[in-house]
């Protein structure tokens, strides 16, 4: 499928879409005028598709500097009467949360949907926080789709509800829904109104204490009305299968429940909560009142389980609830059909014949992700280690940040000692600088620097810290698939854009020692690192070379490293100190795979025997 097909008019046609692609189609069918994000897996492909089709689709799309800015862009558009859509990974909503709380109070005019893509089991995240709590914290409605078709349909529905009640809607997906592919039947695309008008109303849009008190009351009234809706909504659907046992579930967990129930023909009633907040108390009461046993199947926290228990307490019922709290189901990580079946077997007292599952007893080497062949980060890590050793420095602390370079945690680099969140490398370096006498070398990527590094760098200089900050500038947001950022001359829709200079930002933050190096030049890079390590203050080295994945796309590879086995003394330094996927050992000697080699020349420069050379 060509990605542009997402744009096609074709009502009633079917496409095989990724959840994230279906999200974009839903936005188009809803007539979204403004969309914004900061890239983050598992939500990244939504932005990638919007980036390709927005100009043609006639909507405005941007990669914002961070998620808070993205949410603010969308909030203002919605206040001006346009339909707006902002989306991010779960931890991105933490960044945006300050403004999220307020937009719940002030509400919207045009519909606004905020999508949070959660990552149970942490396929590509630092935690697996459950963002259903945010619907409760901000007190806004939540919608949880289970598959691509639902995502598309519910995007449209969410905008209608948002506009009707003048509140933003929080849509929660999880990795298995965002990255699920399925058939999606298309609906008509709605032409979007793309110029709004902001009608001033400070009593509504400026939450100072006096107005905010009133706004909170208004929010409570809106949510009460929406609870009537969630109690009656056909989105919250009961699958009656007879018997006295019922399962309450939603999202991805619903899919596992249905597969297990249907395959094993279990006599279990299922309530799927799709419009899941405000929690539909009356519907829950109606569903459970004649049941003996209730099982709550949800990923990650026991959110609904506690709310079901509250309903039972409130109505004075005596019912047994099975779920996470009593240990029937695991408390953490994502679920699977196997996990759900095991839980249901306990509740139903079943002993189904298990499929034979064979596990090999041969211990297998693991296959961790690694920096790509030719990655400029590898060269930077190699040189910083050389510089630190050359100066005889010990106990150096390496705060790191979020991006491909977090893979610096691996041997032999071992250059990742402390990480909290986007931008934390610089803030925590300030703390280590005050709390210890250890040397500190901090790493942050270019996109992450724009996202949350700048305020911390100002803090570092102003509060007289001492550390070396290495800005690993590979001219892209690499880990999420290569999205642009403010340091590039291109915007989210592929148009020309003013390029913001990292060098100038660093200088403007008051940094006195600031140098830019090409990390693929090992000698010079090591020299500059050594100089920077001896500087008494905040030193910044910008290690600047484009990501190899972008370079490969441009087919700019010019040379390949070639090893002369007659000269090679088999010291294995290249193999052990670089761990480049192109360099491997076979039959006791070192080889370089020409297919993987990207011609970065780092191994050529570091080989003590000069046994590696560049081949055209």
Partner 1 sequence: MKPYNIYISGVGGQGIIKTSTVIGEAAMKNGMPVVMSEIHGMAQRGGVVSTQLKIGDAYSPIIQEGGADLLLAFEPMEALRAISQINRESFVVTNTSSIMPFNITASENPYPELSVILDELQSHSKKLFALDAEQIAKDAGHILSLNMVMLGGAVAVPGFPLDREVIMESMRENLPEKSMPVNLKAFEEGFRVCLEK
Question: Which secondary structure element, helix H or strand E, spans residue 487, and what is its range?
Answer: none
Report the residue number, 205 or 254, with the smaller CB distance to partner 1.
Answer: 254
CB of 459 to partner 1, least distance (A): 29
CA distance 554 to 574: 27
Q: Which is nearer to partner 1, 100 or 340 (CB)?
A: 340
Per the omega criterion (within 30 degrees of 0), is the bond before 278 cis?
A: yes
How many residues bind partner 1 (CB under 8 A)? The answer is 63
Instruction: Show the binding pattern over residues 133-172: x = contacts partner 1 (CB under 8 A), - = does not.
Output: -------------xx-------------------------
φ and ψ at residue 108, rounded to 5 degrees: -135, 165
**Whose Cβ is closer to partner 1: residue 109's or residue 400's?**
400
Note whether 595 binds partner 1 by CB under 8 A.
Answer: yes
Applying CB under 8 A, among 338, 504, 564, 569 the residue interacting with partner 1 is 338
**DSSP letters spanning 409-464:** GSTTT----B--STTHHHHHHHHHHHH-SS-BEEEEEHHHIIIIIHHHHHHHHHTT
Instruction: Copy the structure tokens of residue 203.
Output: 């009593």
| Residue whose CB is less far from partner 1, 18 or 27 | 18
Q: Is there a contact between 418 and 400 (Cβ–Cβ < 8 Å)?
A: yes
Q: How far is the CB of 156 from partner 1 (least distance, A)?
A: 21
By the rule CB under 8 A, 176 interacts with partner 1:
yes
Span from 192-200, 313-321, 512-520, 579-587 in contact with partner 1 (CB under 8 A)? 579-587
Q: How far is the CB of 579 from partner 1 (least distance, A)?
A: 5
Among positions 443-502, residues that touch partner 1 (CB under 8 A) are: 479-481
Pairing mode, strands 538-544 and 467-473: parallel
For residue 487, cis peptide bond before it (omega within 30 degrees of 0): no
Q: Which alpha helices (H) appear in 500-601, and where do they start and end?
A: 502-508, 522-533, 548-553, 573-578
Work out how close the CB of 179 gets to partner 1 at its nearest, in angstroms, rounded to a whole number. Answer: 5
Q: Which is nearer to partner 1, 208 or 364 (CB)?
A: 364
Q: What is the rounded distance in angstroms from the CA atom of residue 81 to the CA atom of residue 163?
A: 9
- Under 8 Å between Cβ of 458 and 510: yes
Buried b vs exposed e over 416-430: b needs ≥16 C-beta within 10 Å? Answer: bbbbebbbbbbbbbb
Token representation of residue 182? 């399925």
Among 10, 58, 182, 527, binds partner 1 (CB under 8 A): 182
Residue 571 phi/psi, 5-degree rounding, is -75, -20
Residues 214-253 that bind partner 1 (CB under 8 A): 252
Stretch (H or E) spanning 238: strand 237-239
Residue 511: name the closest of 467, 552, 544, 569 by CA.
467
Among 409, 581, 606, 613, binds partner 1 (CB under 8 A): 581
Interface with partner 1 (CB under 8 A), residue from 580, 592, 604, 612 = 580
Q: What six digits make up the tokens of 561?
A: 């490293």
DSSP class of residue 500 equals P
Which of 166, 259, 293, 562 touches partner 1 by CB under 8 A? 259
337 near partner 1 (CB under 8 A): yes
Q: Are strands 245-249 and 293-297 parallel, antiparallel or unpaired?
A: parallel
Could you say whether residue 598 binds partner 1 (CB under 8 A)? no
Identity of the residue, 201 or 262, whose beta carbon is nearer to partner 1 in the bound complex: 262
Could you say which residues in the range 410-429 bind partner 1, by CB under 8 A? 410-411
Work out how close the CB of 127 gets to partner 1 at its nearest, in angstroms, rounded to a whole number: 14
Quote the least distance from Cβ 259 to partner 1, whole Å: 5
- Closest approach of Cβ 415 to partner 1, in Å? 16
Rounded Cα distance, 224 and 236, in Å: 17
Of the candidate spans 70-78, 177-185, 312-320, 512-520, the one that interacts with partner 1 by CB under 8 A turns out to be: 177-185
Token pair in block for residue 213: 């008190």
Cα separation, 475 vs 509, whole angstroms: 21
Residues, the chain, total? Answer: 616
| Binding of residue 575 to partner 1 (CB under 8 A) | yes
CB closer to partner 1 out of 252 and 425: 252
Task: Give the whole-angstrom CA distance, residue 598 versus residue 372.
Answer: 9
- Figure out which of the listed residues 255, 433, 442, 465 binds partner 1, where binding follows CB under 8 A: 255
616 binds partner 1 (CB under 8 A): no
Give the nearest distance from C-beta 306 to partner 1 in angstroms.
Answer: 25
Instruction: By CB under 8 A, name the one of 180, 304, 440, 542 that touches partner 1.
Output: 180
Supply φ then ψ for residue 76, to 5 degrees.
-65, -40
Stretch 526-565: interaction string toward partner 1, x if CB under 8 A: ----------------------------------------
Site track for partner 1 across 341-360, x = CB under 8 A = x-------------xxxxxx
- Scanning 133-141, 440-448, 569-577, 600-608 for contacts with partner 1 by CB under 8 A, the matching segment is 569-577
- Is the previous residue joined to 176 through a cis bond, with omega within 30 degrees of 0? no
- Among positions 18-37, residues that touch partner 1 (CB under 8 A) are 18
Tokens of 229: 């809706």
The footprint of partner 1 on residues 80-139 (CB under 8 A) is 123-124
Least Å from the CB of residue 238 to partner 1 = 16
| Binding residue for partner 1, selected from 234, 313, 368, 392, defined by CB under 8 A | 368
CB of 369 to partner 1, least distance (A): 4
The answer to whether 111 and 75 are in contact (CB under 8 A) is no
Residue 264 contacts residue 338 (beta carbons within 8 Å): no
User: CA 420 to CA 348: how far, in whole Å?
Assistant: 43
Both tokens of 18, joined, read 């990724």
The C-alpha atoms of residue 86 and residue 199 are separated, in whole angstroms, by 22
Give the span between the Cα atoms of 162 and 149, in whole angstroms.
Answer: 20
Q: CB-wise, 179 or 190, nearer to partner 1?
A: 179
Phi, psi of 19 (to 5 degrees): -50, -45
Q: Does 39 bind partner 1 (CB under 8 A)?
A: no
Closest separation between CB of residue 19 and partner 1, Å? 10
Cβ 551 to partner 1 shortest distance, Å: 16
- Where does this chain bind partner 1 (CB under 8 A)? 1, 14, 16, 18, 41-42, 44-45, 123-124, 146-147, 175-176, 179-183, 252, 254-256, 258-259, 262, 336-338, 341, 355-360, 362-372, 404, 407, 410-411, 479-481, 572, 575-576, 579-581, 584-585, 595
């Amino acid at each position: 499928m060509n990605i542009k097909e997402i744009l096609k008019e074709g009502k009633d046609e079917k496409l095989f879409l990724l959840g994230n692609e279906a999200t974009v189609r839903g936005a188009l069918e809803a007539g979204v005028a403004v969309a914004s994000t900061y890239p983050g897996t598992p939500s990244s492909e939504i932005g990638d598709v919007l980036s390709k089709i927005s100009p043609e689709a006639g909507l405005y799309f941007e990669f914002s500097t961070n998620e808070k800015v993205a949410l603010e862009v969308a909030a203002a558009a919605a206040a001006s009467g346009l339909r707006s859509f902002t989306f991010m990974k779960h931890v991105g909503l933490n960044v945006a949360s300050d403004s999220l709380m307020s937009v719940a109070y002030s509400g919207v005019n045009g519909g606004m949907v905020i999508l949070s893509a959660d990552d149970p089991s942490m396929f590509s995240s630092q935690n697996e926080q459950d963002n259903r709590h945010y619907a409760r914290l901000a007190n806004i409605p939540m919608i949880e789709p289970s598959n691509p078709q639902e995502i598309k349909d519910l995007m449209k529905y969410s905008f209608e509800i948002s506009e009707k009640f003048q509140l933003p809607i929080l849509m929660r997906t999880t990795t298995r829904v965002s990255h699920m592919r399925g058939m999606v039947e298309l609906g008509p695309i709605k032409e979007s109104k793309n110029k709004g008008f902001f009608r001033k109303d400070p009593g509504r849009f400026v939450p100072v204490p006096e107005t905010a008190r009133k706004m909170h009351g208004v929010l409570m009234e809106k949510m009460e009305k929406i609870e009537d809706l969630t109690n009656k909504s056909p989105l919250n659907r009961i699958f009656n299968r007879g018997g006295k046992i019922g399962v309450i579930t939603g999202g991805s967990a619903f899919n596992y429940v249905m597969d297990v129930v249907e395959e094993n023909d279990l006599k279990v009633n299922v309530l799927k909560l799709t419009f899941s907040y405000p929690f539909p108390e009356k519907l829950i009461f109606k569903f459970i009142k004649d049941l003996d046993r209730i099982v709550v199947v949800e990923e990650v926290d026991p959110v609904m389980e506690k709310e079901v228990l509250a309903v039972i307490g409130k109505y004075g019922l005596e019912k047994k609830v099975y779920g996470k709290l009593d240990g029937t189901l695991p408390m953490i990580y994502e679920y699977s059909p196997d996990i759900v079946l095991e839980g249901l077997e306990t509740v139903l007292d079943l002993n189904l014949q298990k499929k034979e599952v064979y596990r090999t007893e041969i211990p297998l080497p693991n296959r961790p992700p690694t920096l790509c062949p030719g990655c400029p980060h590898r060269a930077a890590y190699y040189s910083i280690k050389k510089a630190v050793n050359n100066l005889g420095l010990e106990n150096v602390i390496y705060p790191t940040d979020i991006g491909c370079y977090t893979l610096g945690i691996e041997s032999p680099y071992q250059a990742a000692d402390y990480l909290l969140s986007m931008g934390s490398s610089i803030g925590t370096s300030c703390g280590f600088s005050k709390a210890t006498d250890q040397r500190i070398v901090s790493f942050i990527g270019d996109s992450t620097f724009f996202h949350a590094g700048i305020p911390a760098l100002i803090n570092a200089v102003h509060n007289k810290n001492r550390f070396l900050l290495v800005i690993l500038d590979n001219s892209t947001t690499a880990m999420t698939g290569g999205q642009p950022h403010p340091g590039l001359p291109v915007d989210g829709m592929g148009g020309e854009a003013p390029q913001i200079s990292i060098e100038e930002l660093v200088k403007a933050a008051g940094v006195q020692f600031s140098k830019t190096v090409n990390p693929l030049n090992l000698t010079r890079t090591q020299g500059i690192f050594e100089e920077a390590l001896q500087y008494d203050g905040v030193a910044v080295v910008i290690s600047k070379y484009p990501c190899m994945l972008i370079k490969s796309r441009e087919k700019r590879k010019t040379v390949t490293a070639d090893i002369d086995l007659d000269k090679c003394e088999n010291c294995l330094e290249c193999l052990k100190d670089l761990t480049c996927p192109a360099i491997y050992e076979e039959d006791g000697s070192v080889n370089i795979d020409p297919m993987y080699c990207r011609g970065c020349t780092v191994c050529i420069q570091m080989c003590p025997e000069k046994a590696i050379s560049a081949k055209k």
